[in-house]
Amino acid sequence: MSAHAHDLAMDHHEDHGHHHKETFITKYIFSQDHKMISKQYLFTGLIMGFIGIAMSILFRLQLAWPDHQFSIYEVFLGKWGAEGVMDPNIYLALVTIHGTIMVFFVLTAGLSGTFSNLLIPLQCGARDMASGFLNMISYWLFFLSSVIMVISLFVEAGPASAGWTIYPPLSALPQAIPGSGAGMTLWLVSMAIFIASSLLGALNYIVTVLNLRTKGMSMTRLPLTIWAFFITAVIGVVSFPVLLSAALLLIMDRSFGTSFFLSDIYIAGEVLHNQGGSPVLFEHLFWFLGHPEVYIVLLPALGITSEIIATNSRKPIFGYRAMVASILAIAFLSTIVWGHHMFVSGMNPFLGSVFTFTTLLIAIPSAVKAFNYITTLWKGNLQLNPAMLFSIGLVSTFITGGLTGIILGDSALDINVHDTYFVVAHFHLVMGISALYGLFAGVYHWFPKMFEGKMMNKNMGYVHFWVTAIGAYGVFFPMHFIGMAGLPRRYYTNTAFPYFDDLTNVNVVITIFAIIAAAAQLVFLFNFIYSIFYGKKGPKNPWGSNTLEWTAEVKHIHGNWDGPIPHVHRWAYDYSKLNKDGSDYVIAGQDYIPQTVPIQENEEEMHH
């Protein structure tokens, strides 16, 4: 296979002259170049992220000041916010679409799609993805599904509003909630296309990592980013088809009168004919994807963090093999823990015991990762670039959010906080904020690679990080308390329960922090757009990094390297390595040794 890769490389090299014949359409729209596709993913993901965050601000306003009339509702929600009063149905729609967009469109496609596409060929030393054409199709299917999801917001009866988990029968019966009409149909169509896109992308990533690594790039020399993207793609291939089957069966139940998930239902004054189905079956199918999905979101962020922390600490990542092993362990365990979302679903309590066991096991590789990150910082020479700050921030929220997972994964404790704000706080910290930090870290770090040497403004980056960091903890730390007070999630207002009146203050604090944190994202947005056009050009390898992408041409060319593909002679983490007598770095005066540098005479070889 590597011979094949070599042939490809030769082909590319020989027909170098054809590259300039690209038209506007083949270069910027239907591009098959991984770097352009990566940018397309990023832009689409950021636009979707903007919508998702804006939605969260709308429903946070409603939660903090339920009696207050905000004309902003009428501006954005039209008839659903008439006279500044938010309709309960649109509240549910907002939380549903916020969840869907953030989990799938921003943190799956926007994060993994962007950086897998950008980095897999560049860090493996390949001219492009194994199949540029499939890659292009993958992006355009994602784009199509985004468009359909956005269109679904404008359906007359309202968008899907059964929660992002779309449990039937609520999601199957328009009689139960208006959003389960055309809105839910579009949601399902959009997600089916999204899954197709994700599968095409994932297969491409796997094949590229396995077959197109340059000479010398053994699996154990791969940067941890690539390991993370690779395993993420494997999890995606294993679990996304199961969500597709759940979606297809739900479409059948909704449109063709089958009874996979429906049984014994009396609604709107009549008995439905459905008999024998079970909503619990849907929950199993959904979470068989749904839980691995958490790691599909998180692993790329952890991979990005590993790379950035090592580079900016000027130290090798501590325990490379343990990091790879924990990625593998997390990936394996992630497929057998889905039942912890269903402890009180009515499934057999014995199953609950099994899932408690597997769930708490997953804390072990997670703990190893956290400790290894901290040890990587120890005795480093930390270059606190914005990307590094976001990476450290990620480790912080990963720890905080991960620790409460020990409570939720324990079936006996889950009983009382299941579906309360305690869960909301937990998963936002551990996967939402952590993965977003990973996304931001990646954007700051690889911006020069994406935009031909231009760099983002660091001061705006610092403001962005610190305000976001304070805002994120300010939102989600107090949220644990209203969960422990017994407040269920997805309540349009808490005023129906005088018992919860004393939680209003907490909700106000949370909303204020949320607005501050959201405002900080505007700083990022401005910095991002401004830097694309006016960003200062940095050096070719601005962060002094070892990985291959920084040896590629600054100017984007099809095929990445103008000359032959570089060969690899060492792992990616030889930072601050000293020569044999310890008098200086191996390369005098330079604290990093790029992977392309052969083993020197004055250094000891490490076995990785």
**Residues of this chain, 479-518, that bind another protein according to CB under 8 A:** 481-482, 484-486, 488, 490-494, 496-499, 501-506, 508-509, 512-513, 516
By the rule CB under 8 A, 470 interacts with another protein: yes
- Closer of 142 and 451 to another protein (Cβ): 451
Three-state secondary-structure class, residue 297: helix
Positions in 386-405 near another protein (CB under 8 A): 388-389, 392, 395-396, 399-400, 403-404
Beta strands at 270-271 and 536-537: parallel, antiparallel or unpaired: unpaired
> How many residues lie near another protein (CB under 8 A)?
138
One residue of 219, 415, 522, 529 binding another protein per CB under 8 A: 415
Binding piece for another protein, criterion CB under 8 A, among 112-120, 278-286, 295-303, 426-434: 278-286
Our CB check for another protein shows the closer of 132 and 168 to be 168
**C-alpha closest to that of 111 among 352, 380, 433, 338:** 433
Interacting residue with another protein among 144, 367, 532, 554 (CB under 8 A): 367
- At its nearest, how many Å lie between another protein and the CB of residue 193? 25
The residue (of 192 and 370) whose beta carbon lies closer to another protein is 370
Ramachandran angles phi, psi of 348, nearest 5°: -55, 130
Q: Is position 420 an interface residue for another protein (rule: CB under 8 A)?
A: yes
Per-residue contact track with another protein, 430 to 459, x per CB under 8 A? Answer: -------------------------xxxxx
Among 238, 252, 467, 557, binds another protein (CB under 8 A): 467
Is residue 93 within 8 Å of residue 159, measured between CB atoms?
Answer: yes
CB of 180 to another protein, least distance (A): 9
User: x/- binding map, residues 153-172, to another protein, per CB under 8 A?
Assistant: ---------xx---xxxx--
Residues 234-263 that bind another protein (CB under 8 A): 262-263
Residue type, 241: P
Closer to another protein at the Cβ: 351 or 557? Answer: 351
Shortest distance, CB of residue 436 to another protein, whole angstroms?
17
Residue 453 has φ and ψ, to the nearest 5°, of 95, -15
478 contacts another protein (rule: CB under 8 A):
yes
Q: Contact 419/390 with Cβ under 8 angstroms?
A: no
Residue 534 to residue 224: CA distance in whole angstroms: 32
Which residues 87-126 are close enough to bind another protein by CB under 8 A?
A: 87-89, 92
Which of residues 151, 207, 238, 463 is near another protein by CB under 8 A? 463
Contact status: 218 vs another protein (CB under 8 A): no
Query: Under a CB-based contact definition with an 8 Å cutoff, are residues 510 and 479 in contact?
Result: yes
Calpha distance 129→171 (Å, rounded):
38
- Segment lying near another protein (by CB under 8 A), choices 2-10, 12-20, 206-214, 358-366: 358-366
Q: Does 176 bind another protein (CB under 8 A)?
A: yes
Dist. CA 96–CA 255, nearest whole Å: 21
Token pair for residue 171?
A: 């999601």
542 makes contact with another protein (CB under 8 A): yes
- Residue closer to another protein by CB (options 251, 485) is 485
Report the b/e string of 16-38 with b at 16+ CB within 10 A: eeeeeeeeeeeeeeebbbbbbbb
The site map against another protein for 279-298 (x = CB under 8 A) is xx------------------
* DSSP-assigned beta bridge partners for residue 498: none
DSSP code of 592? B
| Dihedral over alpha carbons 525, 530, 536, 539 (to 10 degrees) | 40
**Near another protein in 21-80, by CB under 8 A:** none
**DSSP category for residue 27:** I
DSSP-H helix ranges across 175-319: 182-211, 224-255, 279-313
Burial environment of residue 241 by CB neighbours within 10 A (0 to 12, 13 to 18, 19 or more): middle
Helices 363-377 and 320-334 cross at an angle (nearest 10°) of: 150
Taking CB under 8 A as the rule, does residue 427 contact another protein?
no
Closest CA to 462 of 390, 534, 409: 390
Residues 3-32 binding another protein (CB under 8 A) are: none
CB of 301 within 8 A of CB of 437? yes
CB of 248 to another protein, least distance (A): 20
The footprint of another protein on residues 573-602 (CB under 8 A) is 573, 575-578, 591
Touching another protein, residues 299-328 (CB under 8 A): 313-322
Q: Give the phi and the psi of residue 172 in degrees, each rounded to 5.
A: -95, -20
> Can you read off the two tokens belonging to residue 494?
């808490």
Query: Min. distance of Cβ 89 from another protein in angstroms?
Result: 5
Of 90 and 109, the one with the shorter C-beta distance to another protein is 90
Task: Give the dihedral sign, CA 23/26/27/29.
Answer: positive
